[in-house]
Structure 1
Amino acid sequence: MGNLSILDNTKSQTKIPVTVLSGYLGAGKTTIMNHVLNNRDGLKVAVIVNDLSEVNIDADLIQGGGGLSRTDEKLIEMSNGCICCTLREDLLREVEKLAMEKRFDYILIESTGVSEPVPVAQTFTYLDEEQGIDLSRLCNLDCMVTVVDAYSFWHDYSSGESLLERSQAASEDDTRSVVDLLIDQIEFCDVLILNKCDLVAEEDLEELEGVLRALQPRAKLIRTTNGRIDPKEILHTSLFDFEEASRSAGWIKEMEAPAHTPETEEYGISSFVYERVRPFHPQRLMEWMENWPEEVVRAKGIVWLATRDTMAQNLSQAGPSIQFGPAGYWVAALPLAERAVILQEEKELADKWDDVYGDRTNKLVFIGIELDTKKLIRSLDDCLLSDAELALDWSKLEDDFPSAG
């Protein structure tokens, strides 16, 4: 009866459901895909496998895995590019064709290991005006899945390598670091599959799970070995919601949460928000960042540099990757008329408005393992302008940060 109910449900749907598997190279996406295809309760499935190289090895492995019927089902290989960028138009057209055939119950997509999930999700969520294709009329993006390699995660996280250095970049212009890609994949998903758990000690697994939950508190976290997962965990889940997924990262949840006293959580993983209405001295902050605390796994937020009084700066850290640059104008730096309109529309901003500095503030989220929160806060406070420095001309302070705004 269980098999019949799944099939009946799919036939009553007007839109074909789609599940997308993301995850860094070697995490086990293909193994999971083959396991699902061999245990899918009779669903007629179309599979799209994306590979950066000219030879689509993963597609060969799936075709040879015995999970697809060569007569009733379809395997589409998308090679020599990435569906989140260079092959995005191809993905639009292929999915549209599959949906129009009306002979499949489900579409499963395995993205390349260097694919970012957000652009792929956008492909299914919004009208592509250039191509004139609106996949949201034909498909229902059901579940975004990210596969994490429990054995290799910390090695990749701390490697400091770029995708170019590993010869894994989507193009010659792809300057992403390995850790930034890992974090992007983790912070935007509905289900996190922690694979290869048999290769990691229980204590280390529990710590890694704690970190993943801190990075992505919304996603359902599932442990697997050799990719063995119940297909119901990632098929017909109705879990995907673009707005929710876009705001599901742990740092966003922490940033939006009411002020609270930081507490050490299970396995020593904790987080806190650092917020001060006083600018940073650029050189002292630079020195602090050059000696970044190893226990901080993830940091994200807005920085107010004394030398950049009109422009807020964005700080984003994951492992050895630290990005810093302009985030936009402070509302307080805008012309009076424009400022008045914004304050009228955004009550929360108006309520927090400082009589002297307006909306200028430092607000940073820190997530880490065995954080000494009080020590970190003291060290950051030491980077702020002193009372004596507040009275000086801030523009004359030395500023070696890039992209001055």
Structure 2
Amino acid sequence: MTSSAIPVTVLSGYLGSGKTTILNHVLHNRDGLRVAVIVNDLSEVNIDASMIKDGGGLSRTEETLVEMSNGCICCTLREDLLREVERLAKEGRFDYILIESTGVGEPVPVAQTFTYVDEEQGIDLTTYCRLDCMVTVVDAYRFWHDYTSGESLLERSQAVSEEDNRDVVDLLIDQIEFCDVLILNKCDRVNVEELQELERVLRKLQPRAQFIRSSHGQVDPAEILNTGRFNFEEASTSAGWMKELEKSEHTPETEEYGISSFVYERAHPFHPERLMRWMEQLPAEIVRAKGTVWLATRPDYAQSMSQAGPSIQFGPAGYWIAALPEEEQRAILSEELEAGMHWHPVHGDRINKIVFIGIEMNREEIITSLDACLLVEEEMGQDWTVFVDEFPNITEEMQQ
């Protein structure tokens, strides 16, 4: 990366969160910075771009607004994004590039565009640019409505394609768990107590990010421009559930408003039928659950469980080390010493380890009810393959 690399800020956030309003405000208060703006919108008529034009925040002689419509920069328009950013950077007329991502875009693929060389296109954006800050905008007024809706993007006619089966809540989580700055917008529409509770929940989900409260998109540009905050590795491991797993001691912490988190850990397999019934009655106070599951009927594969609101995703996460040939086991264990420290003489590294984040959770009740889903001693000696297993073989969504 050259010393003259142009810094880039990316604005992500669900539809209606206020990204364009924030972008307009920044453009009106940027202290002479020559800014190129890329606005990505899924509709064929780029409404957001027209709003920015009408806002008058761009100098027509010195700055450029690039409209990227009818696609999403995290998927179909990635090639276009690469070429546009390269073109803008090579022009040498700009001090900064601001990108407003589509409201249904996930931030990780956009960040990867600026972090890795695209060998297929032969473009290395790190030569011209440096990703300075990933910003996620959250609508404080509508967050819980969207989070608990149970609706998919398809049902809201907001999907990228007919194959886009994402739930709204999963998109919200993806945007929150990968960012450097989280702007809690429309704070004027929420009372103080509700706002404080929401902010504490979001801090549990995303403990690393700088939090900013705003109303009507009024944000100090210095908070999101030239921050030097972005680090791909840190952002990739900044989710609250990851931080909880990293703790040496999983002591539960209860904070104001009853927001807490804990790790459920058992070196014992789940009975698939009992675990399925438990998930169907998942306690409403659990906001987020994420982790690795040992299902008795699937001895070779660890299962990944990811819950947010009413959406649960469940599917294979990869082989347990103990299910691999002995030579491969030895090679992995020689590098991953921690796995060897907790190695069971019969079951190896197989374990259940799930992080729970929630509001007013009854920790003991959740643990007790989960323990009741584990195999009892009599079942441990039975043929596990005869147990009823209704879980999907691939990662699918199970609506409650």
Contact (CA 8 Å) 1:142, 1:235: kept in 2 or not? yes
Q: Deviations over 1:34-74 (max 9, x none)?
A: 00000000000000000000100100000110111011111
For residues 404 and 269 of structure 1, the distance between their equivalents in structure 2, rounded to whole angstroms, comes to 32
Letter in 2 for 1:88: R
Greater shift after overlay, 384-393 or 141-150? 384-393
For residues 169 and 102 of structure 2, the distance between their equivalents in structure 1, rounded to whole angstroms, comes to 16
Question: 3-state SS of the aligned residue for 1:21?
Answer: strand
Letter in 1 for 2:365: K
Superposed displacement of residue 259, structure 1: 2.0
* Residue of structure 1 aligned with 2:30, choices 22, 40, 46: 40
Superposed displacement of residue 392, structure 1: 1.2
Superposed displacement of residue 198, structure 1: 0.4
For residues 25 and 260 of structure 1, the distance between their equivalents in structure 2, rounded to whole angstroms, comes to 36
* Residue of structure 2 aligned with 1:275, choices 249, 265, 269: 265
Superposed displacement of residue 282, structure 1: 0.6
Contact (CA 8 Å) 1:22, 1:147: kept in 2 or not? yes
Letter in 2 for 1:372: N
For residues 35 and 166 of structure 1, the distance between their equivalents in structure 2, rounded to whole angstroms, comes to 29
* Residue of structure 1 aligned with 2:308, choices 306, 309, 318: 318
Superposed displacement of residue 263, structure 1: 2.6
Question: 3-state SS of the aligned residue for 1:326?
Answer: strand
Question: 3-state SS of the aligned residue for 1:217?
Answer: coil
Superposed displacement of residue 390, structure 1: 1.0
For 1:145, the equivalent position in structure 2 comes to 135
Superposed displacement of residue 189, structure 1: 0.2
Question: 3-state SS of the aligned residue for 2:305?
Answer: strand
Question: 3-state SS of the aligned residue for 2:199?
Answer: helix
Matched, 1:209 2:203: no
Question: 3-state SS of the aligned residue for 2:118?
Answer: coil
For 1:136, the equivalent position in structure 2 comes to 126
Letter in 2 for 1:314: S
Q: Identity across aligned pairs (percent)?
A: 73
TM-score (norm 1): 0.96
For residues 59 and 13 of structure 1, the distance between their equivalents in structure 2, rounded to whole angstroms, comes to 31
Letter in 2 for 1:222: I
Question: 3-state SS of the aligned residue for 1:353?
Answer: coil
For 1:85, the equivalent position in structure 2 comes to 75
For 1:106, the equivalent position in structure 2 comes to 96
Question: 3-state SS of the aligned residue for 1:64?
Answer: helix
Q: Deviations over 1:270-313 (max 9, x none)?
A: 00000000000111100000001100000000000111111110
Question: 3-state SS of the aligned residue for 2:245?
Answer: helix
Contact (CA 8 Å) 2:244, 2:250: kept in 1 or not? no
Q: Deviations over 1:113-162 (max 9, x none)?
A: 00000000000000001100010111010000000000000000001111
For residues 188 and 3 of structure 2, the distance between their equivalents in structure 1, rounded to whole angstroms, comes to 38
Q: Deviations over 1:317-337 (max 9, x none)?
A: 000110000111111011111
Contact (CA 8 Å) 1:297, 1:318: kept in 2 or not? yes
For residues 126 and 120 of structure 1, the distance between their equivalents in structure 2, rounded to whole angstroms, comes to 11
Contact (CA 8 Å) 2:342, 2:349: kept in 1 or not? yes
For residues 24 and 389 of structure 2, the distance between their equivalents in structure 1, rounded to whole angstroms, comes to 54
For 2:209, the equivalent position in structure 1 comes to 219
For residues 216 and 122 of structure 2, the distance between their equivalents in structure 1, rounded to whole angstroms, comes to 41
* Residue of structure 2 aligned with 1:247, choices 217, 234, 237: 237
Query: How is 1:119-198 mapped onto 2 (pairs within 5 angstroms)?
Result: 119-198=109-188
For residues 212 and 348 of structure 1, the distance between their equivalents in structure 2, rounded to whole angstroms, comes to 30
Letter in 2 for 1:290: E
Superposed displacement of residue 267, structure 1: 1.6
For 2:381, the equivalent position in structure 1 comes to 391
For residues 71 and 255 of structure 2, the distance between their equivalents in structure 1, rounded to whole angstroms, comes to 42
For residues 15 and 251 of structure 2, the distance between their equivalents in structure 1, rounded to whole angstroms, comes to 39
TM-score (norm 2): 0.97
For 1:401, the equivalent position in structure 2 comes to 391
For residues 307 and 170 of structure 1, the distance between their equivalents in structure 2, rounded to whole angstroms, comes to 36
Superposed displacement of residue 393, structure 1: 1.3
Question: 3-state SS of the aligned residue for 1:235?
Answer: coil
Superposed displacement of residue 264, structure 1: 1.3
Question: 3-state SS of the aligned residue for 2:253?
Answer: coil
Contact (CA 8 Å) 1:308, 1:404: kept in 2 or not? no
Letter in 1 for 2:13: G
For residues 105 and 323 of structure 2, the distance between their equivalents in structure 1, rounded to whole angstroms, comes to 38
Superposed displacement of residue 13, structure 1: 4.3
Superposed displacement of residue 261, structure 1: 2.1
For residues 361 and 158 of structure 2, the distance between their equivalents in structure 1, rounded to whole angstroms, comes to 33
Superposed displacement of residue 222, structure 1: 0.5
Superposed displacement of residue 399, structure 1: 1.0
Greater shift after overlay, 27-36 or 346-355? 346-355
Contact (CA 8 Å) 1:52, 1:170: kept in 2 or not? yes
Contact (CA 8 Å) 1:277, 1:361: kept in 2 or not? yes
For residues 121 and 345 of structure 1, the distance between their equivalents in structure 2, rounded to whole angstroms, comes to 29
User: How many residue pairs are counted as aligned between the two chains?
Assistant: 394
Letter in 1 for 2:323: A
Cα RMSD for the two superposed structures: 1.1
Contact (CA 8 Å) 1:142, 1:240: kept in 2 or not? yes
